[in-house]
Copies of this chain bind each other. A is one copy, B any other.
Amino acid sequence: MHSYRAPLQDIRFVIDHWLQAPAAWAECERFAGVDSALAQQLLEEGARFAEQQLVPLNRPGDREGCRFQDGHVSTPTGFRQAYQRYVDGGWPGLACAQAHGGQGLPLLLGAALHEVIYACNHGWAMYSGIAHGAYECLRQFGSAELRQAWLGKIVSGECLPTMCLTEPQAGSDVGLLRTQARVDEAGAYRLTGNKVFISGGEHDLTDNILHLVLARLPDAPAGSRGISLFLVPKLTEQGRLNGVHCTGIEHKMGIHASATCSLSFDQAEGWLVGEPQGGLAALFVMMNSARTYVGLQGLAHAESAGQRALAYAQARLQMRAVLRPEGALAAAADPVAFHPAVRQVLWQSRAMTEGMRAIGYWSAHLIDLAEQAQGMARQALEARIALLTPVVKAFFTEQGFQLASDALQVFGGYGYVTESGIEQTVRDSRVAMIYEGTNEIQANDLLLRKVLGDGGEALQALLAHVLEEAGLASDAEGMRWAQQLRVASDGLQAWVGGLVEHDDQEYAYRAAGDFLQALAMLLLGHAWARSARLALVHADQPFYRRKRQTAAYFFDHLWLRFAYRLQRLHAAQLPLPFVG
Protein backbone atom coordinates (compact mmCIF):
# COMPACT_ATOMS: atom_id res chain seq x y z
CA MET A 1 0.00 0.00 0.00
CA HIS A 2 1.28 3.47 -0.90
CA SER A 3 2.12 5.57 2.06
CA TYR A 4 2.76 9.28 2.18
CA ARG A 5 5.90 10.91 0.76
CA ALA A 6 6.65 14.52 1.64
CA PRO A 7 5.99 16.65 -1.48
CA LEU A 8 9.47 18.15 -1.35
CA GLN A 9 9.54 19.22 -4.97
CA ASP A 10 6.41 21.32 -4.65
CA ILE A 11 7.49 22.65 -1.26
CA ARG A 12 10.74 23.79 -2.83
CA PHE A 13 8.89 25.32 -5.78
CA VAL A 14 6.76 27.39 -3.41
CA ILE A 15 9.63 28.46 -1.17
CA ASP A 16 12.21 29.19 -3.86
CA HIS A 17 10.10 30.35 -6.79
CA TRP A 18 6.60 31.26 -5.77
CA LEU A 19 7.72 33.14 -2.65
CA GLN A 20 11.32 33.76 -3.65
CA ALA A 21 11.99 33.39 0.03
CA PRO A 22 15.77 32.86 -0.18
CA ALA A 23 16.16 36.32 -1.73
CA ALA A 24 14.11 37.80 1.11
CA TRP A 25 16.13 35.91 3.72
CA ALA A 26 19.34 37.24 2.27
CA GLU A 27 18.10 40.75 3.01
CA CYS A 28 17.21 39.97 6.64
CA GLU A 29 19.98 40.13 9.17
CA ARG A 30 18.48 37.30 11.18
CA PHE A 31 18.19 34.86 8.27
CA ALA A 32 21.26 35.96 6.36
CA GLY A 33 22.85 32.54 6.67
CA VAL A 34 19.84 30.68 5.32
CA ASP A 35 19.72 29.82 1.64
CA SER A 36 17.82 27.49 -0.64
CA ALA A 37 20.29 24.64 -0.24
CA LEU A 38 20.17 24.78 3.55
CA ALA A 39 16.38 24.95 3.53
CA GLN A 40 16.16 21.97 1.23
CA GLN A 41 18.61 19.91 3.25
CA LEU A 42 16.75 20.68 6.43
CA LEU A 43 13.37 19.77 4.97
CA GLU A 44 14.73 16.55 3.52
CA GLU A 45 16.02 15.62 6.93
CA GLY A 46 12.73 16.59 8.58
CA ALA A 47 10.77 14.59 6.03
CA ARG A 48 12.99 11.58 6.68
CA PHE A 49 12.31 11.84 10.40
CA ALA A 50 8.55 12.19 9.91
CA GLU A 51 8.20 9.46 7.27
CA GLN A 52 10.34 6.97 9.18
CA GLN A 53 9.36 7.69 12.78
CA LEU A 54 5.80 9.03 12.62
CA VAL A 55 4.06 7.24 9.75
CA PRO A 56 4.50 3.81 11.36
CA LEU A 57 2.87 5.09 14.56
CA ASN A 58 -0.12 6.67 12.87
CA ARG A 59 -2.54 3.77 12.46
CA PRO A 60 -1.44 1.94 15.62
CA GLY A 61 -1.85 5.21 17.52
CA ASP A 62 -5.40 5.55 16.21
CA ARG A 63 -6.26 2.01 17.29
CA GLU A 64 -4.55 2.11 20.67
CA GLY A 65 -5.51 5.67 21.62
CA CYS A 66 -4.57 7.24 24.93
CA ARG A 67 -5.21 5.67 28.31
CA PHE A 68 -6.28 7.55 31.39
CA GLN A 69 -5.75 6.15 34.86
CA ASP A 70 -5.54 7.84 38.25
CA GLY A 71 -4.90 11.25 36.75
CA HIS A 72 -2.16 10.00 34.43
CA VAL A 73 -2.32 9.78 30.65
CA SER A 74 -0.35 7.23 28.64
CA THR A 75 0.18 8.05 24.99
CA PRO A 76 0.24 5.19 22.46
CA THR A 77 3.22 2.87 22.22
CA GLY A 78 6.23 4.51 20.62
CA PHE A 79 5.04 8.09 20.98
CA ARG A 80 7.47 8.98 23.76
CA GLN A 81 10.44 7.54 21.87
CA ALA A 82 9.48 9.38 18.69
CA TYR A 83 9.21 12.59 20.68
CA GLN A 84 12.64 11.97 22.15
CA ARG A 85 14.03 11.63 18.63
CA TYR A 86 12.26 14.87 17.67
CA VAL A 87 13.97 16.58 20.63
CA ASP A 88 17.32 14.98 19.85
CA GLY A 89 17.07 16.29 16.30
CA GLY A 90 16.66 19.83 17.63
CA TRP A 91 13.33 20.20 15.81
CA PRO A 92 11.42 22.00 18.62
CA GLY A 93 13.76 24.98 18.38
CA LEU A 94 13.85 25.19 14.61
CA ALA A 95 12.29 28.64 14.32
CA CYS A 96 13.21 29.89 17.81
CA ALA A 97 15.88 32.53 18.38
CA GLN A 98 19.45 31.38 18.84
CA ALA A 99 19.56 33.47 22.00
CA HIS A 100 17.10 30.99 23.53
CA GLY A 101 18.90 27.95 22.21
CA GLY A 102 16.97 27.67 18.96
CA GLN A 103 18.23 27.44 15.41
CA GLY A 104 16.91 30.85 14.44
CA LEU A 105 15.48 29.63 11.16
CA PRO A 106 12.47 31.16 9.38
CA LEU A 107 8.98 30.21 10.59
CA LEU A 108 8.31 29.36 6.94
CA LEU A 109 10.56 26.33 7.30
CA GLY A 110 8.83 25.39 10.53
CA ALA A 111 5.54 25.62 8.68
CA ALA A 112 6.76 23.41 5.83
CA LEU A 113 8.10 20.89 8.33
CA HIS A 114 4.80 20.89 10.18
CA GLU A 115 2.82 20.30 7.02
CA VAL A 116 4.84 17.11 6.62
CA ILE A 117 4.57 16.13 10.28
CA TYR A 118 0.80 16.63 10.33
CA ALA A 119 0.46 14.54 7.19
CA CYS A 120 2.42 11.73 8.82
CA ASN A 121 0.70 11.70 12.19
CA HIS A 122 -1.80 14.35 13.22
CA GLY A 123 -2.37 12.79 16.63
CA TRP A 124 1.31 12.76 17.56
CA ALA A 125 1.84 16.29 16.23
CA MET A 126 -0.84 17.68 18.54
CA TYR A 127 1.56 17.55 21.48
CA SER A 128 4.23 19.75 19.91
CA GLY A 129 2.16 21.74 17.40
CA ILE A 130 1.38 24.52 19.82
CA ALA A 131 4.92 24.95 21.16
CA HIS A 132 6.02 27.65 18.76
CA GLY A 133 2.99 29.82 19.50
CA ALA A 134 3.57 29.44 23.24
CA TYR A 135 7.22 30.33 22.74
CA GLU A 136 6.26 33.54 20.91
CA CYS A 137 3.69 34.45 23.52
CA LEU A 138 6.12 34.00 26.39
CA ARG A 139 8.93 35.69 24.53
CA GLN A 140 6.85 38.79 23.89
CA PHE A 141 4.80 38.98 27.09
CA GLY A 142 6.64 37.03 29.75
CA SER A 143 8.63 38.80 32.45
CA ALA A 144 12.42 38.49 32.40
CA GLU A 145 12.18 35.86 35.16
CA LEU A 146 9.59 33.79 33.32
CA ARG A 147 11.55 33.95 30.09
CA GLN A 148 14.70 32.99 31.90
CA ALA A 149 13.00 30.07 33.62
CA TRP A 150 10.99 28.53 30.80
CA LEU A 151 11.83 29.74 27.30
CA GLY A 152 14.88 27.52 26.99
CA LYS A 153 12.88 24.49 28.10
CA ILE A 154 10.28 25.05 25.39
CA VAL A 155 12.98 25.55 22.80
CA SER A 156 14.82 22.40 23.80
CA GLY A 157 11.58 20.41 23.96
CA GLU A 158 12.10 19.54 27.61
CA CYS A 159 8.68 21.02 28.39
CA LEU A 160 5.56 20.97 26.22
CA PRO A 161 3.04 23.79 26.57
CA THR A 162 -0.77 23.78 26.42
CA MET A 163 -3.37 26.45 25.83
CA CYS A 164 -6.13 26.37 28.48
CA LEU A 165 -9.03 28.49 27.29
CA THR A 166 -12.18 26.41 27.06
CA GLU A 167 -14.48 25.69 30.00
CA PRO A 168 -17.72 23.72 29.80
CA GLN A 169 -19.81 26.89 29.51
CA ALA A 170 -17.17 28.91 27.61
CA GLY A 171 -16.22 27.63 24.17
CA SER A 172 -16.37 30.12 21.32
CA ASP A 173 -17.32 32.65 23.96
CA VAL A 174 -14.15 32.89 26.02
CA GLY A 175 -15.67 35.83 27.87
CA LEU A 176 -17.88 33.43 29.83
CA LEU A 177 -14.96 31.71 31.56
CA ARG A 178 -15.00 31.40 35.35
CA THR A 179 -11.55 30.17 36.39
CA GLN A 180 -10.38 32.46 39.18
CA ALA A 181 -6.91 33.73 40.00
CA ARG A 182 -6.41 35.07 43.52
CA VAL A 183 -3.32 36.42 45.23
CA ASP A 184 -2.28 34.39 48.28
CA GLU A 185 -0.54 35.67 51.41
CA ALA A 186 2.87 35.19 49.80
CA GLY A 187 1.83 37.36 46.85
CA ALA A 188 1.59 34.45 44.43
CA TYR A 189 -1.32 33.90 42.04
CA ARG A 190 -3.46 30.84 42.83
CA LEU A 191 -5.77 29.53 40.10
CA THR A 192 -8.95 27.57 40.68
CA GLY A 193 -11.36 26.31 38.05
CA ASN A 194 -12.07 23.67 35.42
CA LYS A 195 -10.87 23.56 31.83
CA VAL A 196 -12.01 21.12 29.12
CA PHE A 197 -10.82 20.05 25.66
CA ILE A 198 -7.19 20.77 26.56
CA SER A 199 -5.00 19.07 23.94
CA GLY A 200 -1.99 17.53 25.63
CA GLY A 201 -3.25 18.70 29.02
CA GLU A 202 -1.60 15.62 30.49
CA HIS A 203 0.70 13.04 28.85
CA ASP A 204 3.91 11.08 29.25
CA LEU A 205 6.05 12.68 26.53
CA THR A 206 7.72 15.16 28.89
CA ASP A 207 7.98 15.28 32.66
CA ASN A 208 6.76 18.83 32.89
CA ILE A 209 3.91 20.59 31.08
CA LEU A 210 3.49 24.36 30.89
CA HIS A 211 -0.14 25.42 30.90
CA LEU A 212 -1.01 28.85 29.53
CA VAL A 213 -4.27 29.50 31.34
CA LEU A 214 -6.90 32.18 30.91
CA ALA A 215 -8.47 33.20 34.21
CA ARG A 216 -10.10 36.12 35.98
CA LEU A 217 -8.48 38.23 38.66
CA PRO A 218 -10.71 39.31 41.57
CA ASP A 219 -13.01 42.17 40.61
CA ALA A 220 -12.18 41.77 36.91
CA PRO A 221 -14.90 43.13 34.64
CA ALA A 222 -17.28 40.59 33.06
CA GLY A 223 -16.70 39.40 29.50
CA SER A 224 -13.50 39.04 27.55
CA ARG A 225 -11.97 42.29 28.76
CA GLY A 226 -11.62 40.88 32.24
CA ILE A 227 -9.37 38.00 31.33
CA SER A 228 -5.74 37.55 32.26
CA LEU A 229 -3.17 35.01 31.10
CA PHE A 230 -1.11 32.89 33.48
CA LEU A 231 1.66 30.40 33.15
CA VAL A 232 0.88 27.39 35.32
CA PRO A 233 3.53 24.67 35.19
CA LYS A 234 2.62 21.09 36.13
CA LEU A 235 5.84 21.08 38.18
CA THR A 236 7.17 24.37 39.49
CA GLU A 237 10.72 25.45 38.82
CA GLN A 238 11.67 23.84 42.12
CA GLY A 239 10.13 20.57 40.93
CA ARG A 240 7.12 20.81 43.28
CA LEU A 241 3.85 19.26 42.02
CA ASN A 242 1.44 22.12 41.35
CA GLY A 243 -2.34 21.91 41.85
CA VAL A 244 -3.27 20.83 38.30
CA HIS A 245 -5.15 17.55 37.96
CA CYS A 246 -6.26 15.73 34.86
CA THR A 247 -9.77 14.44 35.55
CA GLY A 248 -10.36 12.57 32.30
CA ILE A 249 -9.81 12.38 28.55
CA GLU A 250 -12.38 12.55 25.77
CA HIS A 251 -13.38 9.74 23.43
CA LYS A 252 -13.41 11.34 20.03
CA MET A 253 -14.20 10.81 16.37
CA GLY A 254 -10.51 11.00 15.48
CA ILE A 255 -7.01 12.03 16.60
CA HIS A 256 -7.36 9.23 19.15
CA ALA A 257 -3.65 9.45 19.88
CA SER A 258 -3.98 13.03 21.09
CA ALA A 259 -5.03 13.30 24.73
CA THR A 260 -7.91 15.78 24.98
CA CYS A 261 -7.99 16.46 28.69
CA SER A 262 -10.24 17.89 31.35
CA LEU A 263 -8.10 19.75 33.85
CA SER A 264 -8.96 20.85 37.31
CA PHE A 265 -6.94 23.72 38.78
CA ASP A 266 -7.01 23.70 42.55
CA GLN A 267 -5.11 26.62 44.05
CA ALA A 268 -2.47 26.03 41.39
CA GLU A 269 0.37 28.53 41.46
CA GLY A 270 0.50 30.71 38.38
CA TRP A 271 2.59 33.55 37.00
CA LEU A 272 1.02 36.43 35.14
CA VAL A 273 1.94 36.70 31.45
CA GLY A 274 1.49 40.23 30.15
CA GLU A 275 -0.70 42.82 31.85
CA PRO A 276 -3.55 42.09 34.25
CA GLN A 277 -6.74 41.92 32.10
CA GLY A 278 -4.44 41.72 29.09
CA GLY A 279 -4.91 37.98 28.57
CA LEU A 280 -6.55 38.11 25.19
CA ALA A 281 -3.96 40.52 23.80
CA ALA A 282 -1.17 38.16 24.85
CA LEU A 283 -3.06 35.16 23.53
CA PHE A 284 -3.66 36.73 20.16
CA VAL A 285 0.09 36.64 19.62
CA MET A 286 -0.15 32.87 19.64
CA MET A 287 -3.14 32.98 17.35
CA ASN A 288 -1.67 33.94 13.98
CA SER A 289 0.89 31.19 14.05
CA ALA A 290 -1.40 28.70 15.84
CA ARG A 291 -4.22 29.23 13.34
CA THR A 292 -1.83 29.10 10.42
CA TYR A 293 -0.56 25.79 11.80
CA VAL A 294 -4.12 24.45 12.08
CA GLY A 295 -4.64 25.48 8.47
CA LEU A 296 -1.54 23.46 7.60
CA GLN A 297 -3.26 20.42 9.11
CA GLY A 298 -5.96 20.79 6.48
CA LEU A 299 -3.33 21.15 3.76
CA ALA A 300 -1.47 18.11 5.13
CA HIS A 301 -4.56 15.88 5.09
CA ALA A 302 -5.43 17.08 1.59
CA GLU A 303 -1.94 16.23 0.31
CA SER A 304 -1.79 12.87 2.02
CA ALA A 305 -5.29 11.86 0.94
CA GLY A 306 -4.61 12.97 -2.63
CA GLN A 307 -1.39 10.96 -2.84
CA ARG A 308 -3.07 7.81 -1.62
CA ALA A 309 -6.12 8.26 -3.86
CA LEU A 310 -3.85 8.64 -6.87
CA ALA A 311 -1.82 5.55 -6.02
CA TYR A 312 -4.95 3.49 -5.46
CA ALA A 313 -6.60 4.81 -8.63
CA GLN A 314 -3.57 3.81 -10.68
CA ALA A 315 -3.49 0.30 -9.23
CA ARG A 316 -7.17 -0.60 -9.03
CA LEU A 317 -8.62 -2.05 -12.26
CA GLN A 318 -12.37 -1.76 -12.81
CA MET A 319 -14.28 -1.40 -16.08
CA ARG A 320 -13.11 -0.22 -19.46
CA ALA A 321 -12.65 3.51 -19.75
CA VAL A 322 -14.15 5.46 -22.64
CA LEU A 323 -10.73 6.94 -23.40
CA ARG A 324 -7.31 5.80 -22.27
CA PRO A 325 -3.92 7.48 -22.46
CA GLU A 326 -1.84 6.86 -25.54
CA GLY A 327 0.13 3.67 -25.17
CA ALA A 328 -2.09 2.17 -22.44
CA LEU A 329 -2.67 -1.50 -23.12
CA ALA A 330 -6.21 -2.65 -23.72
CA ALA A 331 -7.24 -4.96 -20.89
CA ALA A 332 -10.36 -6.47 -19.36
CA ALA A 333 -10.46 -3.45 -17.07
CA ASP A 334 -8.61 -0.15 -16.87
CA PRO A 335 -7.14 1.63 -13.85
CA VAL A 336 -9.93 3.64 -12.28
CA ALA A 337 -7.61 6.65 -12.69
CA PHE A 338 -8.70 6.62 -16.36
CA HIS A 339 -12.38 7.14 -15.55
CA PRO A 340 -13.51 10.77 -15.85
CA ALA A 341 -15.20 10.95 -12.43
CA VAL A 342 -11.97 9.82 -10.76
CA ARG A 343 -9.81 12.10 -12.91
CA GLN A 344 -11.91 15.03 -11.72
CA VAL A 345 -11.32 14.09 -8.08
CA LEU A 346 -7.58 13.79 -8.69
CA TRP A 347 -7.22 17.09 -10.56
CA GLN A 348 -9.34 18.90 -8.03
CA SER A 349 -7.32 17.50 -5.18
CA ARG A 350 -4.09 18.63 -6.81
CA ALA A 351 -5.40 22.08 -7.76
CA MET A 352 -6.73 22.79 -4.28
CA THR A 353 -3.77 21.29 -2.43
CA GLU A 354 -0.99 23.00 -4.36
CA GLY A 355 -2.90 26.28 -4.44
CA MET A 356 -3.37 26.11 -0.66
CA ARG A 357 0.31 25.33 -0.15
CA ALA A 358 1.31 28.56 -1.90
CA ILE A 359 -1.13 30.64 0.16
CA GLY A 360 -0.39 28.92 3.47
CA TYR A 361 3.37 29.26 3.07
CA TRP A 362 2.91 32.86 2.00
CA SER A 363 1.18 33.47 5.30
CA ALA A 364 4.07 31.93 7.23
CA HIS A 365 6.63 33.84 5.15
CA LEU A 366 4.85 37.13 5.85
CA ILE A 367 5.09 36.42 9.58
CA ASP A 368 8.86 36.12 9.15
CA LEU A 369 9.03 39.33 7.12
CA ALA A 370 6.84 41.25 9.54
CA GLU A 371 9.10 40.40 12.42
CA GLN A 372 12.04 41.95 10.60
CA ALA A 373 10.15 45.00 9.39
CA GLN A 374 9.57 48.34 11.08
CA GLY A 375 6.95 51.05 11.17
CA MET A 376 4.46 51.32 8.32
CA ALA A 377 5.94 48.39 6.45
CA ARG A 378 5.46 46.17 9.48
CA GLN A 379 1.91 47.39 9.98
CA ALA A 380 1.06 46.66 6.37
CA LEU A 381 2.53 43.16 6.64
CA GLU A 382 0.67 42.51 9.87
CA ALA A 383 -2.59 43.65 8.31
CA ARG A 384 -2.05 41.24 5.43
CA ILE A 385 -1.25 38.37 7.79
CA ALA A 386 -4.37 39.21 9.76
CA LEU A 387 -6.43 38.91 6.57
CA LEU A 388 -4.84 35.68 5.40
CA THR A 389 -4.91 33.86 8.73
CA PRO A 390 -8.66 33.18 9.03
CA VAL A 391 -8.76 32.08 5.37
CA VAL A 392 -5.90 29.67 5.92
CA LYS A 393 -7.44 28.30 9.10
CA ALA A 394 -11.02 27.92 7.89
CA PHE A 395 -10.75 27.23 4.18
CA PHE A 396 -7.82 24.83 4.43
CA THR A 397 -9.37 22.77 7.20
CA GLU A 398 -12.69 22.52 5.38
CA GLN A 399 -10.89 21.45 2.24
CA GLY A 400 -8.76 18.98 4.17
CA PHE A 401 -11.88 17.20 5.36
CA GLN A 402 -13.69 17.47 2.02
CA LEU A 403 -10.75 16.27 -0.07
CA ALA A 404 -10.11 13.42 2.37
CA SER A 405 -13.72 12.33 1.94
CA ASP A 406 -13.37 12.62 -1.85
CA ALA A 407 -10.24 10.46 -1.68
CA LEU A 408 -12.08 7.88 0.41
CA GLN A 409 -14.67 7.71 -2.36
CA VAL A 410 -11.97 6.79 -4.89
CA PHE A 411 -11.22 3.71 -2.77
CA GLY A 412 -14.86 2.60 -2.95
CA GLY A 413 -15.76 0.02 -0.32
CA TYR A 414 -12.11 -0.36 0.66
CA GLY A 415 -12.07 3.29 1.67
CA TYR A 416 -14.70 2.67 4.33
CA VAL A 417 -12.61 -0.10 5.84
CA THR A 418 -10.13 0.82 8.57
CA GLU A 419 -7.34 -1.10 6.90
CA SER A 420 -7.07 1.34 3.98
CA GLY A 421 -6.16 4.13 6.39
CA ILE A 422 -8.06 6.77 4.46
CA GLU A 423 -11.07 6.75 6.78
CA GLN A 424 -8.75 7.75 9.63
CA THR A 425 -7.72 10.77 7.57
CA VAL A 426 -11.38 11.74 7.22
CA ARG A 427 -11.94 11.38 10.97
CA ASP A 428 -8.71 13.09 12.02
CA SER A 429 -9.12 16.00 9.64
CA ARG A 430 -12.62 16.85 10.90
CA VAL A 431 -11.47 18.37 14.18
CA ALA A 432 -9.46 21.13 12.55
CA MET A 433 -12.69 22.82 11.39
CA ILE A 434 -13.58 23.24 15.05
CA TYR A 435 -10.62 24.00 17.30
CA GLU A 436 -8.57 27.23 17.50
CA GLY A 437 -11.82 29.07 16.80
CA THR A 438 -14.50 27.36 14.72
CA ASN A 439 -14.55 28.11 11.01
CA GLU A 440 -17.64 30.26 11.59
CA ILE A 441 -15.70 32.35 14.11
CA GLN A 442 -12.91 32.70 11.55
CA ALA A 443 -15.36 33.98 8.95
CA ASN A 444 -16.75 36.59 11.31
CA ASP A 445 -13.21 37.58 12.29
CA LEU A 446 -12.27 37.98 8.63
CA LEU A 447 -15.15 40.10 7.44
CA LEU A 448 -16.16 42.00 10.57
CA ARG A 449 -12.78 42.64 12.15
CA LYS A 450 -10.13 42.28 9.45
CA VAL A 451 -11.95 43.71 6.43
CA LEU A 452 -14.49 46.14 7.86
CA GLY A 453 -12.33 46.98 10.88
CA ASP A 454 -9.99 49.17 8.83
CA GLY A 455 -12.56 50.35 6.34
CA GLY A 456 -11.46 47.82 3.74
CA GLU A 457 -7.91 49.14 3.46
CA ALA A 458 -6.05 45.87 3.98
CA LEU A 459 -8.41 44.06 1.61
CA GLN A 460 -7.87 46.71 -1.06
CA ALA A 461 -4.11 46.33 -0.73
CA LEU A 462 -4.45 42.55 -1.04
CA LEU A 463 -6.61 42.84 -4.14
CA ALA A 464 -4.10 45.29 -5.62
CA HIS A 465 -1.43 42.68 -5.05
CA VAL A 466 -3.54 40.08 -6.88
CA LEU A 467 -4.05 42.48 -9.78
CA GLU A 468 -0.33 43.14 -9.91
CA GLU A 469 0.24 39.46 -10.52
CA ALA A 470 -2.53 39.51 -13.11
CA GLY A 471 -0.69 42.30 -14.88
CA LEU A 472 2.36 40.10 -15.33
CA ALA A 473 0.61 37.54 -17.51
CA SER A 474 2.18 37.39 -20.95
CA ASP A 475 0.80 34.30 -22.72
CA ALA A 476 -2.73 33.97 -24.10
CA GLU A 477 -3.93 31.52 -21.45
CA GLY A 478 -2.39 33.54 -18.63
CA MET A 479 -4.02 36.72 -19.93
CA ARG A 480 -7.40 35.00 -20.00
CA TRP A 481 -6.92 33.89 -16.40
CA ALA A 482 -5.73 37.36 -15.43
CA GLN A 483 -8.93 38.78 -16.84
CA GLN A 484 -10.94 36.32 -14.73
CA LEU A 485 -9.07 37.56 -11.67
CA ARG A 486 -9.74 41.21 -12.52
CA VAL A 487 -13.47 40.63 -12.91
CA ALA A 488 -13.56 38.75 -9.64
CA SER A 489 -11.59 41.37 -7.76
CA ASP A 490 -13.90 44.11 -9.04
CA GLY A 491 -16.94 42.05 -8.09
CA LEU A 492 -15.72 41.45 -4.56
CA GLN A 493 -14.72 45.04 -4.03
CA ALA A 494 -18.05 46.29 -5.33
CA TRP A 495 -19.83 43.96 -2.96
CA VAL A 496 -17.84 45.20 0.03
CA GLY A 497 -18.62 48.77 -1.05
CA GLY A 498 -22.32 47.96 -1.06
CA LEU A 499 -22.07 46.24 2.31
CA VAL A 500 -20.53 49.25 3.97
CA GLU A 501 -23.36 51.46 2.80
CA HIS A 502 -26.01 49.05 4.00
CA ASP A 503 -27.57 49.85 7.34
CA ASP A 504 -28.60 46.29 8.26
CA GLN A 505 -26.22 45.42 11.09
CA GLU A 506 -26.62 41.71 10.56
CA TYR A 507 -25.84 41.65 6.84
CA ALA A 508 -22.10 41.15 7.31
CA TYR A 509 -22.68 38.28 9.74
CA ARG A 510 -24.99 36.54 7.26
CA ALA A 511 -22.41 37.02 4.50
CA ALA A 512 -19.26 36.15 6.44
CA GLY A 513 -19.04 32.47 5.51
CA ASP A 514 -19.47 33.08 1.80
CA PHE A 515 -17.09 36.03 1.90
CA LEU A 516 -14.36 33.80 3.30
CA GLN A 517 -15.02 31.25 0.57
CA ALA A 518 -14.95 33.92 -2.14
CA LEU A 519 -11.73 35.45 -0.88
CA ALA A 520 -10.16 32.01 -0.59
CA MET A 521 -11.00 31.26 -4.22
CA LEU A 522 -9.56 34.59 -5.29
CA LEU A 523 -6.36 33.84 -3.38
CA LEU A 524 -6.15 30.41 -4.99
CA GLY A 525 -6.65 32.16 -8.34
CA HIS A 526 -3.71 34.36 -7.46
CA ALA A 527 -1.69 31.31 -6.47
CA TRP A 528 -2.41 29.56 -9.75
CA ALA A 529 -1.87 32.60 -11.96
CA ARG A 530 1.53 33.07 -10.39
CA SER A 531 2.43 29.38 -10.45
CA ALA A 532 1.43 29.09 -14.09
CA ARG A 533 3.48 32.13 -15.05
CA LEU A 534 6.55 30.82 -13.25
CA ALA A 535 6.04 27.40 -14.86
CA LEU A 536 5.99 28.86 -18.38
CA VAL A 537 9.75 29.14 -18.45
CA HIS A 538 10.31 25.43 -17.81
CA ALA A 539 7.22 24.09 -19.54
CA ASP A 540 9.26 21.29 -21.08
CA GLN A 541 9.84 19.67 -17.67
CA PRO A 542 7.13 17.33 -16.37
CA PHE A 543 6.76 19.10 -13.00
CA TYR A 544 6.13 22.44 -14.66
CA ARG A 545 3.98 21.01 -17.45
CA ARG A 546 1.77 19.54 -14.75
CA LYS A 547 1.62 22.93 -13.03
CA ARG A 548 0.25 24.43 -16.23
CA GLN A 549 -2.30 21.65 -16.61
CA THR A 550 -3.41 22.02 -13.01
CA ALA A 551 -3.75 25.78 -13.41
CA ALA A 552 -5.94 25.19 -16.46
CA TYR A 553 -8.10 22.75 -14.50
CA PHE A 554 -8.42 25.30 -11.71
CA PHE A 555 -9.50 28.18 -13.95
CA ASP A 556 -11.70 26.11 -16.25
CA HIS A 557 -13.62 24.22 -13.57
CA LEU A 558 -13.02 25.17 -9.95
CA TRP A 559 -13.03 28.87 -10.62
CA LEU A 560 -16.81 28.77 -11.14
CA ARG A 561 -17.07 28.57 -7.37
CA PHE A 562 -16.04 32.20 -7.07
CA ALA A 563 -19.03 33.49 -9.04
CA TYR A 564 -21.30 31.19 -7.05
CA ARG A 565 -20.02 32.61 -3.77
CA LEU A 566 -20.39 36.18 -5.03
CA GLN A 567 -24.01 35.47 -5.89
CA ARG A 568 -24.57 34.08 -2.42
CA LEU A 569 -22.99 37.22 -0.96
CA HIS A 570 -25.59 39.33 -2.71
CA ALA A 571 -28.36 36.98 -1.59
CA ALA A 572 -27.20 37.45 2.01
CA GLN A 573 -28.87 40.88 1.86
CA LEU A 574 -32.21 39.15 2.31
CA PRO A 575 -33.37 38.88 5.91
CA LEU A 576 -32.89 35.49 7.56
CA PRO A 577 -35.69 34.47 9.92
CA PHE A 578 -35.07 32.81 13.27
CA VAL A 579 -35.62 29.08 13.27
CA GLY A 580 -38.51 27.89 15.40
Q: Which A residues contact B (CB, under 8 angstroms)?
A: 166, 169-173, 175-176, 196-197, 222, 250-254, 260, 310, 313, 317-319, 322-325, 332-333, 337-344, 346-347, 350, 401, 405, 408-409, 412-413, 415-419, 423, 426-427, 430-431, 433-435, 438-440, 443-444, 505-506, 509-510, 512-513, 542, 546, 549, 553, 556-557, 560-561, 563-564, 567-568, 571, 574, 576-580
CB contacts (< 8 Å) of A222 on chain B: these are 332
A578 CA / B505 CA spacing, docked (Å): 49
Question: Knowing A253-B416, A253-B418 touch, does A172 contact B318 (C-beta < 8 A)?
Answer: yes
- Expressed in whole angstroms, the Cα–Cα distance for A509 and B336 within the complex equals 13
B430 contacts A413, C-beta separation under 8 Å = no
- B560 near A252 with CB under 8 A, answer no
Rounded to whole Å, the gap between the CB of A358 and the closest CB of chain B is 20
Copies per assembly: 2
The reply to whether A318 and B176 form a contact with Cβ atoms under 8 Å apart is: yes
Chain B neighbourhood of A171, CB < 8 A: 318, 412-413
- CB-based contact B427/A413 at 8 Å: no
A434 and B418 contact, CB distance less than 8 A? no
Report, nearest first, the 7 A-B pairs whose CB atoms are least far apart: A253-B423, A173-B318, A341-B440, A251-B418, A564-B564, A340-B509, A346-B579
Most buried by B among A260, A319, A405, A578: A578
Chain B contacts of A251 at CB under 8 A?
417-419
> Is A506's CB under 8 angstroms from B340's CB?
yes
A438 CB contacts on chain B under 8 angstroms: 409, 412
CB-CB < 8 A to A175: which residues of B?
319
Q: Which residues of B contact A417 (CB under 8 A)?
A: 250-253, 260
Whether A423 and B340, one on each chain, are in contact in the complex, defined by CB atoms closer than 8 angstroms, is no
Do A560 and B556 touch (CB < 8 A)?
Answer: no
Ordered by A's residue number, 18 sampled pairs between the chains whose C-beta atoms are within 8 Å are A170-B318, A171-B412, A176-B318, A196-B413, A251-B417, A253-B416, A253-B427, A323-B506, A340-B509, A344-B513, A409-B433, A412-B438, A413-B434, A413-B435, A546-B580, A556-B574, A560-B564, A561-B564
Whether B401 pairs with A415 at a CB distance below 8 angstroms is: no
> In the bound complex, how far is the Cα of B542 from the Cα of A170, in angstroms?
34
| Whole-angstrom CA separation of A222 from B45 in the bound complex | 51
Q: Across the interface, which residues of B come within 8 angstroms of A253, CB to CB?
A: 416-418, 423, 426-427
Could you say which residues of chain B place their CB within 8 Å of the CB of A339?
Answer: 440, 509
Contact A252 B310 (CB under 8 A): no
Residues of B within 8 A of A340 (CB): 506, 509-510, 512, 576
B-chain residues with CB within 8 Å of residue A419 when the two chains form the complex: 250-251
**B-side contacts of A325, CB under 8 Å:** 578
Known: A251-B418, A344-B513, A416-B431. 8 other contacts (CB 8 A): A171-B412, A176-B318, A251-B417, A252-B416, A339-B509, A341-B512, A412-B434, A563-B567
Chain B residues, Cβ within 8 Å of A433: 409
Q: How far is the CB of A269 from chain B (nearest CB, A)?
A: 28
Q: Tell me the smallest distance from the CB of A56 to a CB of chain B, in Å.
A: 19
Q: A445 to nearest B CB, angstroms?
A: 12
Which chain B positions have C-beta within 8 A of A350?
579
Please, which residues of chain B bring their CB within 8 A of the CB of A252?
Answer: 416-418, 423
Bound-complex Cα distance A430 to B563 (A): 29
- In the complex, are the beta carbons of B413 and A338 less than 8 A apart? no
